[in-house]
Amino acid sequence: MLDASSPPAVSHRSPPLVPDVEDIQSGYEHLLHEERFVRGTPVRLFTFPQGTQDESRTVVCLPGLGASGRSFAPMGPLADELRLLLWTPPLRTPATHTPLQWNLAVLNHAEALLPERFALLGSSYGSLLSIAYTLAHPERVKALVLISPVASVRRIRRLALTLSTLVRSPRPLAYVFAPTVARVLGGMYLPPEGRAEIVREARRLSSMELLRRLRDVLAADFLHRLHEIRVPTLVIQGGRDLLVPGWAARDVAERIPGARMEVLRQASHLPYMSHSQSFNSLVGDFLLKHAV
């Protein structure tokens, strides 16, 4: 088990409780923003301007429910050696598909401009996409990193899942609930700008799209297929995660052959934002060994 050597520095800047959707927080503004149209759907993609462009080192990072790829900004120190593509699922998905089905099709489409093989890193809802994609297209995935993994709704605390929808509360309710929910999900060490980033991005998502994604989570049950995953896998879990219990993450790790699990004891649901130093050390060592 690992922990950050010291709590992350907290910015003295005071972000608004519910920032406007265009109000990018300090520490998240330096990313390059690209929009790709895949199957007619705009996909936002963030990259590090000084990072490596070596396609053989590509890692596609998939964020949690309602978040954007920008939430992975604290992974910047890894960009010198890993080509990090911070992928944001489309804000709207067609009624002809579930969001999960549509995102899998978009990720695998030629217009996504992804290399033939790459590593996948998924957080929470992004871990669900990562698991489903690896099962559907194992030939394209080099390695897998699952953060606060979601593989079955039976392994999620439903009350916390319900509370997480409050980040979509309309004003003025959002001023009361959204920062609190973001703090609960992010934990006591999540800096204020990190909480503001979560709230700001969640406000972009329509209530209907959020509901459709929640239905994906509620319908998910990949536990019986995890043994089919044959790529190197790292599971990272926060010891204070109030959404995905530690035993549930361990169950995922134990069902994937050869998977390794690491726990950041003081972290909550978003360890890459709250404990980036320890998180980056774990992920960097793992991916440089298995994904390049």
The model's pLDDT over 179-199, given as tens digits with 9 standing for 90+, comes to 666 777 788 899 888 888 888
pTM over cut 0.75: yes
**pLDDT of res. 12:** 45
CATH number for 227:
3.40.50.1820
Pairing of strands 260-264, 32-38: unpaired
**pLDDT of res. 114:** 96
Residue 4: inside a domain, yes or no? no
**pLDDT of res. 282:** 97
pLDDT band with cut points at 50, 70 and 90 for residue 4: very low
Domain containing 224: what range? Answer: 32-290
Joined tokens for residue 165 = 């929808």
Q: Taking residues 65-91, what's their average pLDDT?
A: 94
128 or 163, which is more confident:
128
Residue 188: inside a domain, yes or no? yes
Whether 167 shows a pLDDT value over 60: the answer reads: no
Residue 155: inside a domain, yes or no? yes
Q: Taking residues 249-255, what's their average pLDDT?
A: 95
Residue 6: inside a domain, yes or no? no
Least confident of 4-18, 74-88, 264-278: 4-18
User: Is the Cβ–Cβ distance between 160 and 184 less than 8 Å?
Assistant: yes
pLDDT band with cut points at 50, 70 and 90 for residue 6: very low
CA pair distance 183, 185, nearest whole angstrom: 6
Residue 209: inside a domain, yes or no? yes
Cα separations (Å) of 251 from 119, 151, 248? Answer: 22, 10, 5
The domain tally of the chain equals 1
Whether 10 shows a pLDDT value over 50: the answer reads: no
